[in-house]
Amino acid sequence: MTEPTANRPATPGRGPFLLLAALFFVPLFTAYALYFVWPEFRPKNTTNYGVLVVPVHALPAMTFTDVDGKAQSETLFKGHWSVVYMAGASCDNACVARVIMVRQIRLLLANERSRVKRVYITADANALQAAKTQFGSEQPDLEYLVDSGAAGSRAADVFKPTDPNALYLIDPLGNWFMVYPSSKDDYKLILKDIKRLLKLSMIG
């Protein structure tokens, strides 16, 4: 006759862990979604400096080349927050000021700066090379791209820039969700927006 096996202490299941994870992540996701994805449900007393794109615009596949003519991956805007500047044939004083301002904003993000990248796009390879020469070593983290896609699928077709000095904000999933027209030139308020979204986001 065998002796009864001693009762073992119950092993905690995954329930408590999942509950803690939900308590931590759900509020963050909800806040992010309400602020950037479904702004129509956002509390009315919450404001942002940039102009929200409603509905959020998922970027289509686009083709870019760098200053050396090398094709860039379609995942260019995935995994990071991107601040895009659509430049003209040349970078005038207003353009230079805008590029410098975004660099200062990124620097002020301190330890979070690696989550944000700056992208300079123009339709002409010669103009892109001229811009890179113009900025030289002053803009080491700026990505230079030629909008080399076919008509109808270029970045210019997506953003439809009517303001030559607008900034376009893209999330790490490749969604364009905010724009800063040239009239939005207070770097402190743009910085505040970006800091807020980095705090709310668990991606990028």
Query: Residue positions in the annotated binding site?
Result: 91, 95
C-alpha separations of 183 from 36, 49, 117, 180, 200 in Å: 21, 11, 22, 8, 26
Please provide the distance, in angstroms rounded to a whole number, between the alpha carbons at the two ends of the chain.
Answer: 63
Q: Cα separation of 131 and 10, whole Å? A: 67
- Please name the helix (run of DSSP H) or strand (run of DSSP E) that holds residue 30, with its range, or none: helix 15-32
Annotated binding-site members for Cu cation? 91, 95
Q: Which residues, other chains included, contact 117 with Cβ-Cβ below 8 Å and sequence gap of 6+?
A: 80, 81, 82, 83, 141, 143
Residues 6+ apart with CB under 8 A from 113: 106, 107
Please list the residues that pair with 173 across neighbouring strands: 78
Strand, coil or helix: 121: strand
DSSP secondary structure code for residue 60 in this structure: -
What are residue 78's DSSP bridge partners? 173
